[in-house]
A and B are shown apart, each in its own frame.
Chain A
Amino acid sequence: MSSLTYEATGIPEEVEAEDPTNRRVELVLGALASVVLLFVAGMVIFVFLKGLPSFTSNGFAWFGAGGNVDQQLADIFNSPANPADYVYELRAWPLLWSTFLISGLSVLIATFISVFASIFIVHFAPAPVRKLIEPVVKFLAAVPSVIYGLIGILVIIPWINEVFITEEMAASVAYVIQLDGSSVLAGVMILTLMILPIMIAIIVDSLRAVPRNWREGALALGVNKWRAVRTVSIRAIRPAIVAAAVLATARALGEAIMLAMVTGSIGFAPNPFDGFLFLFEPSRPLAATIVDGAEGLSVAPFGETMYAFAFILIVSTGILSFVGWAARKSLGRYSIGAR
C-alpha cells in the first residue's frame, strides 16, 4: 500500500525500501504481531503436553464412559505422593456429554430466538422500540457471567425446584441422583440468554445488508412483509446465521463460571431416555469442571487431568472460532473481538 502511494507522488520506490527506521519499525511491529501466533500455538502445545499423561494413561477410553467420574477425579486427587503411583484413570464421557448437551441445546434455542428477534429489530420494531432494544442487547452482552450465575443460583434454581420438581420426580431418580434445582434446564436457560447478543449482532448486521432491491421486488409482487422477509432475506443470510451459530457455540463451550454455579457440581450424564425429567438433572460440563478443580491444580495428576480438559476445550473453541472468522471474512465482516 505504501509503495503505491510513493509512486503516485513521484518519490522513487528505492527511497522507501532503503529507509532504515521504517524498516526497523516494520520488523519490530511484525515480530510483535507474530508473537500472537506463537502464543496461540504455544498455548495449545503447552496445555497438551501438560495434559498428556492423562491421555496416555487412558488411551481412547478417556473419551468413553464407565464408573463415576467424580469418584475417579477424587481418586486422582488422592493419589499417593510417589510419581510412580499416580492414579490417572478417567472416563470423561459424562463431562463431554454434559458439554454437548448444554451447549447444543443453548445454541439451538438461541438460533431460533435470535433470528426472530433480529427480524423484529430490523423490520418490524417501531422506531422508539428499536431505540430501546439495541441498548438492551448491548446490556445483556455486557453483564458479567458471575452475575448471571448469581441470579441463576438465587432465583432460577429455587424457582425450578418449586415449580417443576415434584416429590415423585425426585423419588423416581433418587437411587441415582438428587434433584435440587441445579440442573441442565437452569444452565441452558441462562446460557441461551448469554449467547443471544452475539448472534443477534451478527444476524442484524447481515439482515441490514440484504439489498433493498430484493426486498422491494418481493413487496412489489404483492407479497406481505413477513413473507417477503422470511422467503428472501432469511434465505439470503443463511451463511451468516451459520457463522453466528458457530461463534455462539464457541462461547457456550467456554462458559465456566455461570455453569459451575448453576448446573450442579456433579459429574453426571443426564439420560434423555428419562423423558423430560432429564432436563432437571444436575450435570457439569468441562469448563465448569476445571473451575471446580482449580484449587487442586497443584496436585500433579489432578492438575494434569485438568489440563487435559483444557486441551479439549482450546482445540474445539479454536477450530470453531477459526471457522466462524473465515465465514465472516468471506461474508465481508471484520471482527472487533466482540464476545
Chain B
Amino acid sequence: MGLETADEGRDAAEVGIPPIQRIVVDGEIPPVRVAHQIRNGVSSELEEQFVVKQDFEIPSWAEERMRVESLGVRFGQKEAVKDVSLEVNSGEVLALIGPSGCGKTTLLRSLNKLVDLTPTAVRGGRILLDGKDTDLMDDTLLRKQVGMLFQQPNPFPMSIFDNVAYGLRERGTKRPGKKELEPIVVDALERAGIWAEVSDNLNHPALSLSGGQQQRLCIARSLAVRPEVLLLDEPCSALDPISTAIIEETIVELKSEIAIVIVTHNLQQAERVADKVGFMYLGDLVEYGSVEQVFNAPMAERTKDYVRGDFG
C-alpha cells in the first residue's frame, strides 16, 4: 500500500505549499493500525508494518483517524457522491464546501453510516476508522466513536442533564447512576462552552434554551460519549451570528482532542475554522488541500470560481 502524490502539474517546492494528496487503492486491505497517543501535540512512532512513501511532510500533529477510499454513494439512479477519497485527521478541522446538492452532506453522513437509513442508498468504496473497515463494524459501535451534529439543533424533550447523559445511559448495558454521570456531564458541558449558562439548574427542559444554546447542548451531548471524530452538518446555519461565533470558538478549542469534519456553505466560516478544505461539486471531490491553498491559490478552475463567489 503506498501513498502517491498526484501532482497536477506544479512543483511543490515552487509554490511553497503541499500539493494535493490523493489516496489510490490498489486492492489491498491495510493492516489494522493501533491508534497512537497524541502527547503534547506530537504523534508517537508509526508501526513498522505500515510503509509510507511520501514526498512531503505530514504535519507532526496530524493523526489519521478516518480515511475515505473511493467512496461512491448512489440513491437509486442518482449519484450523490462519486469516487471521493480523503483523510480525516485529529488535531485539524476538515471543512467540506460546495454548492447545495453537491454531495457534501451525503459524504458526511456516510462517515457515520447514517446514510444507510435511507432505503435507496447504495454505497461503494471503503471508509476506515483507525484502520478498521467501518462496514465490518456494528453501527452503534461506529457511532459511539464518530459523533454528529445536525443543522437543526435537536435536543430531546428532556432535561439538560438527561440530554447530555443520554448517550451514556443508553449504552445497552448497566445504567450508570446519577452520581457517576454528574462529573462527565459537567465536563462535557464545559468543553461545549455552555456550562456557565446552565450551571444553575441542570433539570431545566432542554427545549427552553435558545437556538444557539440548544446547539451547544447538542455538542455537549455528543462530547459526553467521548468520540474520536465529530461530524458537523452546517451546525450554525440556523443560528444567529453571536451563537455562531461561540460555536466556532468551541470548534477550534475542540480540534486538538478530536478530529472534526464540518460541512458548511459559508465560505468565511470555512476560512475561519478549517485547516484542511475539500471542495465538492456535483458529487466529485474537485479539490482537497490546506485552507490557505484552496482559498488563496486554488488549482482547479471550478474551485476558483466558487471561492470567488461566482456561483453558490
Contacts and interface: CB of A to CB of B under 8 A. Distances in A.
Are A and B in contact, CB atoms below 8 Å, in the complex?
yes
A214 B158 CA distance: 12
A221 B154 contact: no
A231 B166 contact: yes
B130 to A, nearest CB: 16
Nearest to A232: B156
B140 A218 contact: no
B143 A217 contact: no
A217 B150 contact: yes
B148 interface: yes
A211 B155 CA distance: 11
Interface in B149-163: 150, 152, 154, 156-158
Contact of A213 (B139, B152, B158): B152
B38 to A, nearest CB: 23
A216 B166 contact: no
A216 B140 contact: no
B85 interface: no
Given A220-B143, A220-B148, A214 B167 contact: no
Contacts of B140: 222-224
A140 B147 CA distance: 44
Contacts of A228: 170
Given A221-B143, A236-B157, A213 B150 contact: yes
Query: Which of B144, B150, B152, B154 has the most chain A CB within a 10 Å cutoff?
Result: B154
Interface residues of A, number: 19
B177 interface: no
How many chain B residues sit at the interface, stated as a range, is 20 to 34
Contacts of A236: 157
Contact of B172 (A214, A227, A232): A227
A235 interface: yes
Contact of A219 (B143, B145, B171, B218): B143
A275 to B, nearest CB: 36
A222 B221 CA distance: 12
Interface string A199-239: 00000000000010110111111111001100110011000
B225 interface: yes
Contacts of B167: 221-223
B215 to A, nearest CB: 12
A235 B167 CA distance: 16
A217 B142 CA distance: 14
Nearest to A224: B140
B117 A216 contact: yes
Query: Which of B157, B170, B221 has the most chain A CB within a 10 Å cutoff?
Result: B170
B157 A231 contact: no
Contacts of B152: 213
A41 B139 CA distance: 58
Contact of A214 (B139, B145, B156): B156
B90 interface: no
Nearest to A235: B157
B228 to A, nearest CB: 12
Interface in B230-270: none
A235 B144 CA distance: 23
B168 to A, nearest CB: 9
Nearest to A127: B119
Contacts of A221: 143-144, 147, 166-167, 170, 221-222, 225
Contacts of B6: none
Nearest to A222: B144
B112 A224 contact: no
B298 to A, nearest CB: 32
A221 B114 CA distance: 11
Contacts of A211: 154
Interface in B108-160: 112, 114, 117, 119, 139-145, 147-148, 150, 152, 154, 156-158
Query: Which of A217, A218, A235, A236 has the most chain B CB within a 10 Å cutoff?
Result: A217
B9 to A, nearest CB: 41
A329 B145 CA distance: 42
A217 B156 contact: yes
Contacts of B171: 222-223
Given A211-B154, A213-B150, A213-B154, A220 B166 contact: no
A222 to B, nearest CB: 3
B232 to A, nearest CB: 11
Interface in B254-296: none
A219 B166 contact: no
A109 B140 CA distance: 33
A292 B147 CA distance: 64
Interface string B85-106: 0000000000000000000000
B225 A222 contact: yes
A127 B166 CA distance: 30
B166 A224 contact: no
Contact of B156 (A127, A218, A220, A222): A218
Contacts of B119: 127
Contacts of B222: 220-221
24 contacts: A213-B154, A214-B157, A216-B154, A217-B154, A218-B166, A219-B117, A219-B139, A220-B150, A221-B147, A221-B167, A221-B221, A221-B225, A222-B140, A222-B143, A222-B144, A222-B225, A223-B167, A223-B171, A224-B140, A224-B172, A227-B172, A232-B156, A235-B157, A235-B158
Which 10 A-B residue pairings sit nearest by Cβ, starting from the closest?
A: A222-B144, A222-B143, A221-B167, A213-B154, A220-B148, A217-B154, A223-B170, A227-B170, A222-B140, A224-B140
